[in-house]
Structure 1
Amino acid sequence: MRIALAQVISSSKPASNLELIRDYAEQAKAAGAGLVVFPEAAMCAFGNPLESVAEPLDGPWASSVRTLAADLGITIVAGMFTPGSGGRVRNTLLVTGPGTETSYDKIHLFDAFGFAESDAVDGGEAPVTFSHGGLTFGLATCYDVRFPALFTANARAGADVNIVCASWGAGPGKTEQWDLLVRARALDSTSYVLACGQGDPASLGRARTGTAPTGVGHSAVISPLGETLASLGEAPGLAVYDLDPAIPAEVRERLPVLANAKDFTPA
């Protein structure tokens, strides 16, 4: 199954970001992909008032993505913001395409490195998986990548592939951590990892301001054995790769870490 990672750099304007999604989804379709993954915050870049752009999953922004996916005959995964509780929003991944419709709300909120996502974002509660093209996919968002249990839970629910959408924060060692973490989560879960991040605004000559995580790039396709199969640098771009549905099962037969794992949860 051919997939694509669309490493974009979102702006503060959801309407402009819809056109960006259209452009890259059309490129992915032209390249033969059946599924295209966009980053976290594809609807609107961090560092902007999220409550003013948040819309429900049946609102105009998501409906436009849904129509685009139907028109192109491709499944789209894209980060958006939906209304939460207490005046906050939810950091949501929309998944939509022919025969596929689901969403995931980010569980682990980024209260680290001087940034408090929980001030503005209402956390999700449950893992989500979906099936497409003979594969099962699990979903995760950015800071989730630091929590192996989510990835192994998705794998135990049948996921052959874990998708991680991110708008990774810049800083000393942060790009190296991203590269390490996405490879480690593939090994933990013996699944493919599709790691799609926002591109680095500095690659377009834009100065970083404030503490909002606006992306470092380095999107990648990782094998169930932790190998980098395809990758991008800091700038916007599209990575296309053919996933082999047989590989996760073959790896799990040879390296049965999921079957061998012990439960250390206190009784």
Structure 2
Amino acid sequence: MKIAIAQINSTSDLPANFELVSDHARRAREAGAAVVVFPEATMCAFGNPLAEIAQPLDGPWAQQVRTLSAELGIVIVHGMFTPGEDGRVRNTLLATGPGVEASYDKIHLYDAFGFAESDTVTAGESIATFEVEGTVFGLSTCYDVRFPDLYRANAAAGAAVNIVCASWGDGPGKAGQWDTLIRARALDTTTFVVACDQADPAASGKPAAGSTPLGVGHSAAISPLGQTLAAAPPTPSLTIADLDVASLGDARGKLPVLANTRRIDAAGSAAAPGTTAVHP
């Protein structure tokens, strides 16, 4: 299965951001991709008044993405903002396309490295998966990649591919952490990991935005055994990854971490193998 990774720089201009989605989705379909993945905050970049631009899942932004995906016959996964609680928003991923309609609200909020996402965002409470051509995909967003249990829960729900959409804030060592974490999550779960970040604004000749998370680029597709199948540069790009989903059984036979994992309870006791999955 071909998966397209659309590494873009979104802005505060929603119509311009949709044009980026339209252009990259069309190019992805022409390349034979069944799914095209965009970053977190595709609808509108961070550093803008998110409550003012947030829309429900049946609002105009989501509807035009649905229309585009139906027209092209491709599943589009992208980040948007939906209304949350107490004037906040939800950091939402929408996956939509032929036979697919799923959404995921970011569970782990980025209250780290001097940024407090929880000030403006309501946390999600449950995992989300969808299926394309018999393959199950799990969804996750940015800071989620630091929490292995979410990826294990997706795998327990049948996911062969874990998608992570990000607006990964730059800083000392951050690009290296991104690379390490997406590989680790693939190895933790013996799933393919498709990781799509916002492009690096500096590499694109754009000014920095203080502590606001934007991106470092380096989107990638990782095999269940931690190998890089496709990689993007820091700059905006469209990368096509060919996932041999049929090889998943072989990988899990060689590295049966899901079957071998034992839950350690609060008292320090280990449960029997294969009884470890906990859905957030």
TM-score, normalising length from structure 2?
0.94
Match of 1:201 in 2: 201
Q: Distance in 2 between matches of 1:215 and 1:52?
A: 22
Residue segments in structure 2 that go unaligned for 5+ positions in a row: 268-280
| 2:157 alignment partner in structure 1 | 157
User: Offset of 1:266 from its aligned partner?
Assistant: 2.5
Deviations 1:23-50 (A, max 9, x none): 0000101101010000000000001110
Could you give the per-residue CA deviations for residues 97-116 of structure 1, whole angstroms, max 9, x where no partner exists? Answer: 00000100000000000000
For 1:6, give the aligned amino acid.
A
SS of match in other structure, 2:4: strand
Q: Does structure 1 residue 104 correspond to structure 2 residue 104?
A: yes
Structure 1 equivalent of residue 178 of structure 2: 178
Equivalent position of 2:241 in the other structure: 241
Identify the residue that residue 92 of structure 2 maps to in structure 1. Answer: 92
Structure 1's consecutive aligned runs of 4 or more residues displaced over 2 angstroms after TM superposition are none
Q: Secondary structure at the match of 1:204?
A: coil
Segment of structure 1 superposing worse, 234-243 or 114-123: 234-243
Q: Show the 5 A alignment for 1:16-165.
A: 16-165=16-165
| 1:204 CA displacement | 1.8
Counterpart contact for 1:8–1:198, Cα < 8 Å: yes
Q: Which amino acid aligns with 2:243?
A: L
Amino acid at match of 2:198: Q
Higher mean alpha-carbon deviation, 46-55 vs 202-211, is at 202-211
Asked whether the equivalents of residues 89 and 121 of structure 2 are also in contact (C-alpha less than 8 Å), the reply is yes
| Residue aligned with 1:250, SS | helix
Q: Which amino acid aligns with 1:169?
A: G
Query: 5+ unaligned residues in a row in structure 1: which ranges?
Result: none
**Deviation readout 1:128-163 (Å, 9 max, x if unpaired):** 111112211000000000000000111111100000
- Give the letter for the 2:101 counterpart: E
Give the counterpart letter for 1:90 in structure 2. R
Question: What whole-Å deviation, never above 9, does each CA across 1:84-106 have from its counterpart, x for those lacking one?
Answer: 00100000000000000010000
What is the Cα-based RMSD across aligned positions, in Å? Answer: 0.8
Equivalent pair of 1:134/1:245 in contact (CA under 8 Å):
no
Match for 1:20: what amino acid?
L
Equivalent position amino acid for 2:257 in 1: V
Q: Distance in 2 between matches of 1:258 and 1:228?
A: 21
Give % identity. Answer: 63
Letter in 1 for 2:164: V
Distance in 1 (CA, whole Å) between partners of 2:109 and 2:227 is: 28
Query: Matched residue of 1:101: which SS?
Result: strand
